[in-house]
């Protein structure tokens, strides 16, 4: 039996998703060695599970501002600001997108995880841009199916360290949990899952590049991991090397100052193109570049004239 399935039989854990979360967080060891979810358990092995203290359950509505890009009876699309978590998580129980949506709409009929009602995809805390929320079960299933079957298209903008060449390309590198740092993802794992990201250069600066990216798969931290592996980490991405910039690259002092002043990872979900989950009409929802990234680009453009 798989390790995650075995752990799900224990009443203290109860569900496979709960077991997998503990495994991914490095809280499960087999004979003293952390293992992956798919690893088969064997008779006589000793499995140690470190269960964190329980978090309070339930999501409380909060009167938080939301920028609504589109809304109808089935669907809500918002422009998520940087610094806002999508749904409650350990250490981030309040101030979430879910709390703001519940305050605006009341109880959602969409169903699903009670801590993530209507949520079919997510953006990292410091990533801004388009986020879809289902308001009804039909919308939840329709959107989830499109994500599953990869029939919708997402576009991102990112400012990265270094001058990217060629003008367009494809990053095709499997992504999995980092073998030692379990909170990070990596392309250097033996059992990674297929991950593909297309990119094109929008604008080049002296020591930085604005890219438009289209992920064809939806792995955790995919764009951030792929760009770091390419040697062009996202500016101010403090997990995947964006504060240091491209190794060995020298940039003018004005460029370095502009990059260091960026308050968060320079990644923005620019647009999502999809079929309306009820009517089937083809739709595109776009979010304008937020002020902090617009200021960064203005600073970089000024360095070209210096």
pLDDT at 155: 98
298: left (phi over 0), alpha (psi -120 to 50) or beta: alpha
Residue range 260-281, pLDDT digits in tens? 999 999 999 999 999 999 999 9
Q: Looking at the annotation, which residues are catalytic?
A: 124
Distance CA 154, CA 56 (A): 34
Look at residue 249 in the predicted model and tell me its pLDDT: 57
Q: Is it true that the peptide bond before 276 is cis, omega within 30 degrees of 0?
A: no
Domains annotated on the chain, with CATH: 3-49 (3.10.290), 59-149 (3.30.2350.10), 155-269+293-305 (3.30.2350.10)
pTM value is: 0.79
pLDDT reported for residue 189: 83
User: If you ran DSSP here, which 8-state letter would residue 296 be given?
Assistant: H
Average pLDDT, the chain: 89
User: What's the confidence (pLDDT) of residue 197?
Assistant: 98
Q: Best-predicted range by mean pLDDT among 11-15, 76-80, 239-243?
A: 76-80
Question: How high is the pLDDT of residue 19?
Answer: 86
Give the pLDDT band (50/70/90) at residue 228.
very high
C-alpha count within 13 angstroms, C-beta hemisphere, residue 138 = 9
pLDDT of residue 283: 98
pLDDT one-digit tens code per residue, 143-177: 999 999 999 999 999 999 999 999 999 999 999 98
DSSP 205-254: -SSEEEEEEEESS--TTHHHHHHHHHT-PBTT-TTTTTTT-STT----HH
């Amino acid at each position: 039996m798989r390790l995650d399935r075995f752990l799900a039989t224990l009443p203290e854990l109860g569900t496979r998703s709960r077991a997998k979360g503990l495994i991914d967080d490095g809280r499960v060891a087999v004979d003293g060695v952390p293992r992956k979810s798919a690893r088969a358990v064997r008779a006589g092995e000793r499995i140690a599970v470190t269960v964190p203290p329980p978090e309070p359950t339930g999501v409380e509505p909060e009167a938080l501002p939301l920028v609504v890009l589109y809304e109808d009876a089935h669907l809500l699309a918002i422009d998520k600001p940087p610094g806002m978590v999508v749904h409650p998580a350990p250490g981030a129980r309040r101030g979430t997108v879910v709390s703001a949506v519940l305050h605006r709409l009341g109880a959602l009929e969409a169903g699903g995880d009670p801590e993530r009602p209507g949520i079919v995809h997510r953006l990292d805390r410091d990533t801004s841009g388009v986020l879809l929320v289902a308001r009804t079960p039909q919308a939840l299933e329709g959107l989830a199916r499109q994500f599953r079957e990869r029939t919708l298209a997402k576009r991102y903008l990112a400012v990265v360290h270094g001058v990217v060449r060629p003008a367009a390309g494809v990053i095709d590198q499997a992504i999995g949990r980092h073998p030692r740092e379990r909170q990070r993802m990596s392309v250097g794992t033996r059992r990674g899952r297929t991950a593909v990201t297309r990119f094109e250069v929008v604008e080049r600066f002296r020591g930085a590049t604005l890219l438009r990216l289209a992920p064809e798969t939806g792995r955790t931290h995919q764009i951030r991991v792929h760009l770091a592996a390419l040697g062009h980490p996202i500016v101010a991405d403090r997990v995947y090397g964006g504060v240091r910039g491209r190794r060995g690259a020298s940039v003018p002092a004005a460029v370095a100052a502009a990059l260091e002043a960026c308050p968060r990872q320079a990644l923005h979900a620019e647009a999502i193109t999809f079929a309306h989950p009820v009517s089937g009409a083809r739709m595109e929802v776009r979010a304008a570049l937020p002020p902090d990234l617009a200021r960064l680009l203005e600073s970089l453009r000024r360095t070209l004239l210096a």
